[in-house]
Amino acid sequence: MAITIIIASLIICGFLAGIRLMQSPRSALWGNRLGALSMLTAIIYTYIATGHGAPTSTLIYIAIGTLTGFVLGQSVKMIHMPQTVALLNGLGGAASALVAWVALSSSGNKVVFLFTAGLAVAIGALTFSGSVIAVLKLQGLAFRHPVNLKGHGHILRLAILLSLLAVIINSFSPGYSSLTVIAAGLALLAGLLMALRIGGADMPIVISLLNSLSGIAAAVAGIAVENLILTGTGALVGVAGLILTRIMCRAMNRSLLSVLAGFVPTAKKDIDSGDRETLDKESGQPGVAETPEKPTLEFIINDAQKIIIVPGYGMAVAQAQMAVRELVDTLEAQGKEVKFAIHPVAGRMPGHMNVLLAEAGIDYDKLLDMDTINPQFEHADLVIAIGACDVINPAANSAENTPITGMPILEAEKARHIIICNLDEKPGYSGVDNLLYSKLNVTTIWGNASETVPELTARLKNHK
Amino acid sequence: MLTSILIILIASALFGYRIISAVPALLHTPLMSGMNALSGITVIGALTVFISAPAEAAGWAAAALILATINVVGGFWVTERMLRMFKGKKSEGEVETPWQ
């Protein structure tokens, strides 16, 4: 007993130390490896501890899982990271639900055991079905637009309540297969309903929430099977997911409840990623809109020394990361200083933009978060926004009663000049017109960023 | 047993909260995929229930084991791949110089 507690504490400390190393990009790789090592230790310890009974077949199943996991991890593209994480969340949730399901079928009739095991089945099932829908949406396979059924919210709440009720009844008068199946079925339905009506830009919040739920499912399953390591580690994941959910909600000016309730900021000009991608293909005409009284692009850029680039999801959709990198290289070759301003929701999951830019070979020293970069905009000669709209819209500070009112934004408006490379002049996801577009010190370049950015780079090179 | 489980649950949540909150936004995606791998810890739960599982539930236990292992290995490997791409020129301790 005592030895179990000590070993469990050590393994959880291993995970915590791994996360501690993730606080810096220099040590993060080792943090991940320490986490993997702790995981391996936990598995080996569990295998030995139950060794007298664990059949050899378990090793075969582990081998199958390892191979599949490795192939999956090796083959995914960085742009597809949100759906990969969503998929893995779903698998983890399903595994926890199955563990609790098997435990229910074999042992125990204590109330605590029955309740936690039933709860783990329900949470795991909800995580699984919610994740499946999230993957389909993110991969663009189905439900690209939010689906809102008649009485959606009522059915969702009812499904969750009834599922919980089935779990509770089962804890006091166990009827293993029937009641647990009902609880699981209702939870699956709840997960489907919850994810179906989420819009594209709200995905970072939902992925974070599903991440948290997969941890909570593991923790609750851990209580059921009386496993300290499972409980502690599940709690870590649950907390991490909740922290990220809160950060994403704040950055998007949404409350978690309004996202889950399927509340879309505005219905009139609702543009989500699905629409944007179709637009890319149909009318990706690059065109430079310059009004005569404005100085030429070449002049503006040549005149600038301190430049901040604001990348948005539109850049990622246009796959323009490499083009942006070439632009940065060109600017730096001309002796200019370049920094990136990364808004917390510039992507489809927390921190996604940083990964995409790192993949394009851009130093992480140049990737600055909102709080670091905001005081520096007023000293910048030039801001180049690429596929970013809502996150630089000053309407967030000045306008009243819009979906983005009060949303923290990158203060690009404070720079001396702004160049905006967006697909078109339609507003972003929020549907609020960007106040920057009409300002005198703003030059807009409409078109697909994978064409307009290289064009800009070429003009700079020729000008020199 | 329930007491020690509750203690470890609360302690992990509290320490986790402190340490995870300090991870910079730069690394939030690898953080999430790494935590994602950790949620595959349920692989040890699957191992534990495997032995006591009655014959009719053995298939479910096997499925749990496979899914959880995919979660663990896939999660850690994508995190490894992502973090390998993060490169910086500044040395340890050198901080961002803000424009004045």
Q: Which position has the token pair 């040395």?
A: B91
Give residue-wise pLDDT tens across range A1-36: 788 899 999 999 999 999 999 999 999 999 999 999
Least confident of A63-77, A115-129, A414-428: A414-428
B93 CA: distance to closest CA in chain A (Å): 10
Contacts of B70 in chain A (CB under 8 A): 65, 68-69, 72, 88, 91
Is the CB of A342 less than 8 angstroms away from the CB of B34? no
**B100 falls in which pLDDT band (50, 70, 90)?**
confident
The chain-wide mean pLDDT, for chain A, equals 86
| Burial per residue of A350-385, b for 16 or more beta-carbon CB atoms within 10 angstroms, e otherwise | bbbbbbbbbbbebebbbbbbbebbbebbeebbbbbb
When CB atoms are compared, the residue of A102, A368, A370 closest to B53 is A102
Q: What does the pLDDT read at residue A464?
A: 59
Domain ranges across chain B: 25-85
Whether A225 and B34 lie within 8 Å, measured CB to CB = no
Catalytic residue check, A390: yes
So what's the pLDDT on residue B94? 67
Yes or no: say if B87 and A29 are a contact pair by the CB < 8 Å rule: no
pLDDT higher than threshold 70 for residue A85: yes
pLDDT for A286 equals: 44
Choose among A12, A22, A69: nearest Cβ to B69. Answer: A69
Q: Which of A100, A244, A252 is nearest to A183 (CA)?
A: A100
Confidence grade of residue A293 (pLDDT, cut at 50, 70, 90): low
Looking at residue B56, its pLDDT comes to 83
**What tokens does A374 get?**
């905001």
- What's the pLDDT score for residue A118? 93
Residue A280 has pLDDT above 60, yes or no: no
Interface list for B 3-42 with A (CB within 8 A): 4-5, 8-13, 15-17, 19-42
Label residue A290 by pLDDT band (50, 70, 90).
Answer: very low
Q: What is the per-residue burial (b if ≥16 Cβ within 10 Å, else e) of A100-112? A: bbbbbbbbbeeee
Minimal Cβ distance to B51: which of A5, A54, A229: A54
User: How large a percentage of chain B has pLDDT more than 90?
Assistant: 71
From CA A377, how far away is CA A392, in angstroms rounded?
11
Of A202, A270, A280, A390, which is the active-site residue? Answer: A390
Closest by CA position to A21, among listed A31, A13, A9: A31
Whole-Å CA distances, B49 to A122, A147, A156, A267, B32? 18, 38, 32, 49, 28
* A101/A292: higher pLDDT: A101
- Mean pLDDT value of segment A169-174: 82
Integer Cα distance of A89 and A111 in angstroms? 28
Distance (Å, rounded) from C-alpha A220 to C-alpha A243?
A: 19
**In the structure, what pLDDT confidence band is assigned to residue A346 with cuts at 50, 70 and 90?**
confident
* Closest CA–CA distance from residue A41 to any residue of chain B (Å): 11
> Does A272 have pLDDT greater than 60?
no
